[in-house]
Structure 1
């Protein structure tokens, strides 16, 4: 089971005072406590169930009739649920305080046990993929309940050309806890432990608190934060380079053995998206850099009275009105009202998150940075993590993560194996929820300055989500290609980073010494290679969807809920067809990018 990735913006950290009563997770819906009898019983059940499953089905899949195959799939699904529940509990506790050695030991031990218990299950996908197409088609035709799982089978069988022998697959499964997983933990624990001496601050700050200063209204504070980040990253740059070198090399070895045609191919397979669709997205965004980020940042420089921008100005707030702290109650009402205005059902699904301990919002020592929504398993409910600091941007983050939560609740009806949504579609409800909230705030804007601030904030978020993530994707492509040729020095990686930053941000920026190391703190590169394009995919898809909604597409709300309820049971072509959209059409991406360009047009038109 995969633990979640944080949202890719500066969702910051410092102190949780002054925002009202911030909610904390109640993880008892998963298990009462780490030492509870329920947790121990499920762990014992999992060990027995995995061994029994292997004894019942290993080497026998080809001889099963449709009813027996359905029983096999249902047994596998139940194992998936229990393993996911155990790992979710351990993972969420760990994210609440990554510096707690007891929690770190607990998650490591749980992961070790689950890996050991589930190693006998490796045969299942391998044996299933050896079934002849005609035999599988006959089984599916004979049993409607089994036919429900065809999307799962299709995704499994997409790996047929890339699977190894049973023995090698079991070895890789066993070895994973001391491979990528171990390097991931080293990265997480190192990042959580970094402290930054920021000039002007009384105490050293952690990573999130320091990143938060990059959005401070005072330019000197932003510069001090940027320089403190650069100083600390440089001190640890050899470690971060070693993490990236090792993970990229491990991936190259696995990809070579699996005969993957490119480093990105495995991600495309898991996302159930064609490489040419991703390439069309990437090319459309890169071609749009001049009319999006380049143009916007030149405009921002003008607003700030500067001829040149420094990297610490990229996320600077506009000085059009005094910074405002948004209390938690106001943030809650804003998001729920926006959801309810679109569809009352959406607000009703979202309410339990606030009322039942499904959100952890406060900033606490050792807590994981950023924000995420984790679906846990289809028989429980999702949990949302924030680092809430009362900024207007934090309200958007709440709307975003709550959208994930609503999506995960709706998709859970598909069951464990069918509820999981590919990354490319997983951002749909989150970005749509964010857009609903933004539009509501924009409609309520009382002054030109307020409207301008909201528009500029939205453009910056969209640039962070689209332009910045595609630049990240290009950086990863370059990194993995270069690592295939040999070991990379920190300077090598720094140069790759700067090549994409200059291209994506435009010619109005100057880059301070030390900015070349800022690749080091991006967790996506470590945890999930090539994950990042999913954000751009989701933003472009939602912009096209929202345009259809704004144009009054008949029964849009009903179609939208059906799309979310589908989870991972349908391909993106099938999901988008009711809206008259097709992501494989290169022109599709221009629609979404045009929305961003339109917001910049409006900002330019506001100039006196």
Structure 2
């Protein structure tokens, strides 16, 4: 019987020796291929033949694939040892070369977006096969693009505009330290250290930590608020008045290749189901032996006598068996990652923290990095990253341009894999462990679905109010209103949380990004509910969805399988899952 052992990944399929003459020859070949590709500038005319156009696209695919292998190797090698001077140097070299190659091939992208007329664009798309969606989406973005000189002006001004404002925000907030006095001892913490105290088992420590965080941001709310006001105004001026988007959030929706109607339905359902999480917070208060949770207690941990430990072999087999029970095909995909030694699981100095799955090219099995410590959470992390891997392998028959699913679908397989594992584990543990696992699971559902949706609802209101001249205090009042709408009477929210919005980097860095978390997680929950209803027959539908990668618009892809994500009824199915888990928790604690 196979025994899975912790170890480092094998990157030799990408690059055998980065210091060899062969490696240098590969780089030279890529550069020569790009130079030859540039010669196509002369033949890029609206009347170009379908055959020649497709030949150019396939050449660009090959260049992207080959450069992806060498640059991907550099990135993975660096993740494996961030302290290595050789790895650091190679990453820098590949980034510089990547920027150079991108500039050299940019002419093709610009021509397709702006210089070819619609009739000839449709003619070429008609014969483009699976690349139709790739070409359609580029044309869609072109609708909101400006002329090349105008784009250059905006890019130049952005250095001292939005990008500069984000840098100033980061520079100010990253310098914050937080003074905390616990048990008579005063100590200064950075934000990362403070986040540990926010999840302390002690209610008093949680309150002190939150107050330290919020008071520091409150002291700086004038300048942080003005930065936000300018970012929002800049977003409106550029995206709506100059580029012609219909609303502030539609900029993000189009970037996600998702319809406004779909996102509206998602957010409406999240708002209507606020009571689902309110019931959970009341249950959590009972578990923590509190009359009612305060906002300081939202992420309070549940005390456990002893956390279950898993050895690596048992953890891997548990995840593989779970996937195999659902679909032997997906089980085989996941096993392939281990069979080809594409997993880096050991903890060692210099290795990057956290976990990720990296798909270098559809033609190569993805690489997975985890830092395995044997906790239950590590087993879920393994399932999550292997979910990403099987998504990539399922779509490996697609072009490198369309193999990757758009952002709202990107977490489908990872979250779904966690759901399968969660329900397998839950049936095998004691009531006490069930209580702990269910509470942590619902904590996560709130953080990734409910909280993120309300962040987005706040942003929609804040952008509108700032457009009408709102001041910093008006934004704070709007945020408090959002918190009260979200928690109702289930949680006590003190006034100091009014300026919490200044603590959320996504509002500054990437407006309206947050709903992607709600979208991805609720989509997986809704699909899981379909699986519970339809049984094993759902597996083939699910595999087909994964296999599409990014070859189809999310709405179109799912509609082919009888799933309409533009309707509130679909998203409601995801909340039925959360309701069921809340009821299950209530049953365990009664």
- Shorter-chain TM-score tier: 0.7 to 0.9
Is it true that 1:449 corresponds to 2:432 in the alignment?
yes
* 1:314 maps to 2:305: no
Alpha-carbon contact 1:119-1:174 (below 8 Å) kept: no
Please give the alpha-carbon distance, in whole angstroms, between the structure 2 residues aligned to 1:23 and 1:484: 54
Given candidates 146, 157, 177, the residue that maps to 1:164 is: 146
Matched, 1:572 2:557: no
Alpha-carbon spacing, 1:331–1:181, altered in 2? closer, same or farther (3 Å): farther
Q: How far apart are the structure 2 equivalents of 1:257 and 1:566?
A: 35
Query: What is the TM-score when the length of structure 1 is the normalising length?
Result: 0.80
Q: CA 1:72–1:577 in 2, change beyond 3 Å: closer, same or farther?
A: same
Q: How does 1:246-325 map to 2 (within 5 A)?
A: 247-255=231-239, 256-290=241-275, 292-319=276-303, 321-325=305-309
CA distance in 2, matches of 1:251, 1:152: 26
Partner Cα separation in structure 2 for residue 385 and residue 196 of structure 1: 32
* Counterpart secondary structure, 1:551: helix
Q: Closer, same or farther in 2 for the Cα pair 1:399/1:321, shift >3 Å? A: same
* Contact kept in structure 1, 2:333 and 2:390, CA below 8 Å: yes
Count residues in correspondence. 582
Superposition CA RMSD, Å: 4.2
Which residue does the alignment assign to 2:383? 399
| 1:541 pairs with 2:526 | no
Preserved contact between residue 326 and residue 536 of structure 2 (Cα < 8 Å) = no
Separation in structure 2 between the aligned mates of residue 308 and residue 262 of structure 1, nearest angstrom: 39
- The more displaced of 261-270 and 150-159 is 261-270
Moved more, 249-258 or 106-115: 106-115
Name the residue aligned to 1:118.
Answer: 102
**Unaligned runs of at least 5 residues, structure 2:** none
Map 1:297-376; keep pairs closer than 5 Å: 297-319=281-303, 321-326=305-310, 328-351=312-335, 353=337, 356-359=341-344, 362=347, 371-376=355-360
Instruction: Answer yes or no: is the 8 Å Cα contact 2:345–2:372 preserved in 1.
Output: no
Is 1:474 the equivalent of 2:457? yes
2: CA distance, partners of 1:493 / 1:367: 38
Deviation at 1:82? Answer: 4.9
2:447 equivalent in structure 1? 464
Check the 8 A contact 1:543/1:591 in 2, yes or no.
yes
Residue of structure 2 in register with 1:587 after alignment: 569
| TM-aligned CA deviation for residue 118 of structure 1 | 2.2
> For 1:241-280, what per-residue CA distance to the aligned partner results, in whole angstroms no more than 9, with x for missing partners?
6775565455444413221112222321232211011001
What residue in structure 1 maps to residue 489 of structure 2? 507
Partner of 2:412: 428
The answer for the alignment partner of 1:562 in structure 2 is 544
The change in CA–CA distance for 1:555 and 1:164 in structure 2 (over 3 A counts) is same
- Checking the alignment, whether the CA contact within 8 Å between 2:81 and 2:87 is kept in structure 1 is yes
Q: Is the 8 A contact 1:122 1:170 kept in 2?
A: no
Deviation of the 1:299 alpha carbon: 1.8
In 2, the alpha carbon distance for the partners of 1:132 and 1:465 equals: 43
* Conserved 8 A contact 1:336-1:347: yes
TM-score, normalisation: structure 2: 0.82
* Deviation (angstroms), 1:288: 0.9
More displaced 10-residue stretch of structure 1: 449-458 or 111-120: 111-120
Q: Does 1:378 align with 2:389?
A: no
Shift of 1:150: 0.7
Cα distance in 2 for partners of 1:345, 1:579 equals 19
Whole-Å Cα distance in 1 between the matches of residues 94 and 499 of structure 2? 34
In the alignment, the residues of structure 1 paired with residue 62 and residue 471 of structure 2 have an alpha-carbon distance, to the nearest angstrom, of 44
Per-residue Cα deviation, 1:446-479 (whole angstroms, up to 9, x for no partner): x333333333332222222210110122233344
Unaligned runs of 5+ in 1: 1-19
**Relative to structure 1, is the Cα distance of residues 173 and 71 closer, same or farther in structure 2, using a 3 angstrom cutoff?**
farther
* 1:562 shift after superposition: 1.9
Residue 235 of structure 1: how far off its partner (Å): 7.4
Partner of 1:127: 111
Preserved contact between residue 407 and residue 564 of structure 1 (Cα < 8 Å): yes
Ranked by relative contact order (alpha carbons within 8 Å, sequence separation 6 or more), the top structure is: 1
Determine the C-alpha separation between the residues in 2 that align with 1:390 and 1:195.
33
> Which shows bigger deviation, 448-457 or 129-138?
129-138
Alpha-carbon offset, residue 224 of structure 1 = 4.8
Counterpart in 1 of 2:393? 409
> Equivalent of 2:59, from 59, 75, 86?
75
Instruction: Output the CA distance in 1 between the equivalents of 2:309 and 2:467.
Output: 48
Residues 268 and 568, structure 2, Cα contact 8 Å, conserved in 1 = no
CA contact (8 A) 2:287 2:589 kept: no
Superimposed CA distance per residue, residues 323-359 of structure 1 (whole angstroms, 9 cap, x where no aligned partner): 4455555443432232222223323322455573544
- Cα deviation, 1:560-594, whole Å, max 9, x if unaligned, reads 22221110112334433464321122211111112
